Amino acid sequence: MCAVLFWMPWPQHKSGVGVLKLIPLGGLGEIGLNMMAVEYRDTIFVIDVGLMFPEDYMLGVDYVIPDMTYLKQNVKKIAGIVLTHAHEDHIGALPYLLKDVHAPVFGTPFTLGLVKHKLEEHDLMGATALHVIHPNEILKIGPFALEFIRVNHSVVDGVGIAIRTPYGTVVHTGDFKFSHTCIEGMATDVSTFARYGEEGVLALLSDSTNVESSGYTVSDCEIAESLAIICQRCPGRIIIALFASNVGRIQQIVEIAAKSGRKILFNGRSIEVSVNIAKQLGYLRIPVGMEIEIDQINLYPDDETIIITTGSQGEPMSALARMANGSHRQIKIKTEDTVILSSKFIPGNEKAITNIINDLFRCGADVIYEKIAKIHVSGHAFQEELKLMMRLTRPKYFIPIHGEYRHLVQHARLAEKEDIAKENILLARNGAVITFGPQGAFIGENVTTGRLLIDGKGVGDVGRSVLKERRMLSEEGMVVVNMAFDEDTGVIIYGPDVVSKGFVFETETGHLLDDAQCVILEIVEDVPPEVPNRTDIIRGRIQSALRQYFFFTIGRRPVIMPFIVEV
C-alpha cells in the first residue's frame, strides 16, 4: 500500500471547468535547463529547476538558468517544487527560484541531501522547507496527486512521477533507463509504470536525450566487470575520475578495491560532499579501514591505492586538472599511474577533456577513456527502452521532453512507429502552453521564457550585447586612446597615447600605432575648439576612423575605446 503525504487540502473549486496546463520553461530544445510547470486553475507545482553549462560563445559565463518570469508573475499559485533527481541540470537553478518563490521543495533523500548543501551555500536554508519523499508514496498538492516511481539513472534516488489530474493521469519519466543493473535499489519499477498503463494514461512526458542511439543501454554490471579487469592489470596507483553524484559507480569501485586489497581516497570538493551524504543515507558502504585521507596517501605503496576524483569533464580547477598540470599540492602524476575517465564526453567539453588527457600522457600516466574502453554507460534510455516505456504506459498523448529539438523530433517519430496517433503527439518548445481541456489537447499560447546567464554574482545582467563585446575582445583585441584637452583653449595637453591589448605587439608593428596617433591628430585639427560638444564629436570620429584604419592596414577590427577629458 502506498504511503500518502498531504501537503494541501483538495480545494473547493468554483463552478466551471478549468483546463490543465503543462508549461515547459526549459529542457525542450537543449540539454539541461529542465523545468516544467504543471497548472490547474489556482494551483501550480514545478517539476525540476535545472541549469545548463555555457556554450562556447558564452564567454566568461559560469552557467545558464531558465527565465523564471512566468513563475514570478504567478507566485501566489505555486504550491510546491518537486525534484526528480540530483543532477545539476535538474536542481542547479533551484536557489535562484527560491530567492523569489517561497514554496516547499519535495525530493528523495539523496536529492535533498545535495539540495541542502547547495542552499546552505546560498544562505537559503532558513527560508526553505524541504520534504523527503520516497518511491511509491503519494503526495497531494491541490487538485493533483503525485506518485513517485523508482527509475534507474546514473544517480541514486531517481524517480519518475505519475500525476493524477482532473483530466487523467500524466506520467513524467524523469531521466531513466531500463537496462539491467546490479546496483541495489536502482532498478526501474516496471510494474508500476505498467499498472498506470492498464488504468489509462492521458499523456506521457518522456526523456529524449538518447533517442538517436539504437538498441538498449549497456548494463551497469558490464561496466563493473570492465573496470575490474582494467584495475587488475594496473601496476601503480589507479586514479578514477567520474561524476560526483554517480554513487552507484563509486560503490562498484569500492568493491573492486576491497577485492584487490587497495585503499580508497576521495579527492575533490564535490565528490567529498556527495560521498558524505551517500554514506550518511546508507547508499554507499565502505569497509572499515579502507578509506584514507589525503595526508595518508604516501603511507601506502602505489599499487595499494585507488583515488576517486572529479574533473572528468575537463573542468579547469578540478582535482584531476590540477594533477594533470602539476599544480595539485598533494598528488603528483607518476609514470606507473593509470587514470580512468569513467564518464561520457559531454558535447562542448571535448576539447577541455582531450587537453587533460594529453597532459596526463605527457606526465607519463596511462589514460583510459570511453573511446578506447567500455568504462561508462549512459543513464538515459536508448530507442528500445523508449519504446518499452510507451508500451508499458500506453498513453493517449505523447510529449517528448529533455533534449535538443532534433531529439524531440526523433522521439516524436519513434512514437508514431509505436502506433501513437500523429495528431496526439505534441511536439512543443520552451514556453509553449500544452493545454488539456474538455475538447482534448493542443499547444496554445506562449509564456515568457528564455535563458538567463550567470556571471559571478550577476543574474541576467550579461546579455547578447555583452557577449558580442566579449567575443570581439577575445578575437580582435582592444585599442585604448588616452587624451586630455585644455578646457579653455582646446589645446591637447596630454596624448594622444595609444595602447593596444590583445591586438598587436607594439614592438613588432612599429609604425602601426604611431600612424594611428597621426590619424587622431588630424581629427582633432578638423574640429575647431569653438564647436559645441567638441569632445563627443572627436570621440565618435576617432572610433570610426581607427576602425577603418586598422581594418585597412592589418585586416582586424579591435574594440576602440577613446578616453578624452577636459582639464
The Cα 140–Cα 147 span in angstroms is 9
Most confident region among 155-159, 175-179, 562-566 by mean pLDDT: 155-159
The Cα 308–Cα 268 span in angstroms is 8
Domain over 220-368 is classified CATH 3.40.50.10710: yes
Question: What CATH number does the domain located at 4-9+18-215+378-459 have?
Answer: 3.60.15.10
Cβ-proximal residues to 237 (8 Å cutoff; 6+ apart), any chain: 302, 303, 305, 306, 307, 334, 336, 337, 338
The mean pLDDT of 527-535, rounded to a whole number, is: 85
Backbone φ, ψ for residue 98 (5° rounding) = -70, -15
CB-based contact 105:112 (threshold 8 Å): yes
Question: For domain 477-566, which architecture applies?
Answer: Roll (3.10)
pLDDT of 360 > 90? The answer is: yes
The reported pLDDT for the residue numbered 91 is 97
Q: In which residue are the cell numbers 586538472 written?
A: 321
Beta 144-150 vs 492-501: how paired, if at all?
A: unpaired
The Cα 180–Cα 30 span in angstroms is 28
As a whole number of Å, the end-to-end CA separation of the chain is 83
Cβ-proximal residues to 146 (8 Å cutoff; 6+ apart), any chain: 82, 138, 139, 140, 161, 162, 163, 164
The reported pLDDT for the residue numbered 504 is 63
The Cα 213–Cα 211 span in angstroms is 5
Q: Which of 310, 320, 309 has the alpha carbon at shortest distance from 358?
A: 320
pLDDT in tens, 403-413: 999 999 999 99
The grid coordinates of residue 453 equal 546567464
The reported pLDDT for the residue numbered 306 is 97
The reported pLDDT for the residue numbered 5 is 54
pLDDT of 57 > 90? The answer is: no
Beta 159-165 vs 144-150: how paired, if at all?
A: antiparallel
Beta bridge partners of 338: 238, 366
The reported pLDDT for the residue numbered 434 is 98
CB-based contact 485:566 (threshold 8 Å): yes
The Cα 182–Cα 222 span in angstroms is 9
The grid coordinates of residue 460 equal 541576467
Q: In which residue are the cell numbers 576521495 written?
A: 266
The mean pLDDT of 69-96, rounded to a whole number, is: 96
- CA angle, 83 as apex, 147 and 245 as ends, to 5°? 120
Runs of H (alpha helix) within 24-140: 69-73, 88-91, 94-98, 109-121
CB-based contact 383:408 (threshold 8 Å): no
pLDDT category, 501, cuts 50, 70, 90?
confident
The Cα 196–Cα 207 span in angstroms is 18
CB-based contact 476:501 (threshold 8 Å): no
The mean pLDDT of 42-54, rounded to a whole number, is: 91
The reported pLDDT for the residue numbered 345 is 77
CB-based contact 546:522 (threshold 8 Å): no
The reported pLDDT for the residue numbered 473 is 60
The mean pLDDT of 99-111, rounded to a whole number, is: 95
The grid coordinates of residue 123 equal 544562505
The reported pLDDT for the residue numbered 531 is 85
Length of the chain: 567
The identity of residue 302, as a single letter, is D
| Angle formed by the axes of helices 534-554 and 511-526, nearest 10° | 150
Q: Which residues of 500-522 are buried (b: 16+ CB within 10 A; e: fewer)?
A: beebbeeeebeebbeebeebbee
Q: Which range, of 85-94, 100-109, 486-495, averages the lowest pLDDT?
A: 486-495
The Cα 14–Cα 412 span in angstroms is 37
CB atoms within 10 A of CB 351: 9
User: For a pLDDT cut of 70, what percent of the chain falls above it?
Assistant: 89
pLDDT category, 13, cuts 50, 70, 90?
very low
User: For a pLDDT cut of 90, what percent of the chain falls above it?
Assistant: 64
The Cα 87–Cα 118 span in angstroms is 12
pLDDT in tens, 463-478: 555 555 556 665 667 8
Domain residue ranges in the chain: 4-9+18-215+378-459, 220-368, 477-566
pLDDT in tens, 232-262: 999 999 999 999 999 999 999 999 999 999 9
Q: Regarding predicted confidence, which is higher, 54 or 297? A: 297
Q: In which residue are the cell numbers 570511453 written?
A: 370
Beta 458-459 vs 451-455: how paired, if at all?
A: antiparallel
pLDDT in tens, 312-330: 888 888 899 999 999 999 9
Q: What's the mean per-residue pLDDT of the chain?
A: 88
The grid coordinates of residue 469 equal 563585446
Q: Regarding predicted confidence, which is higher, 186 or 449? A: 449
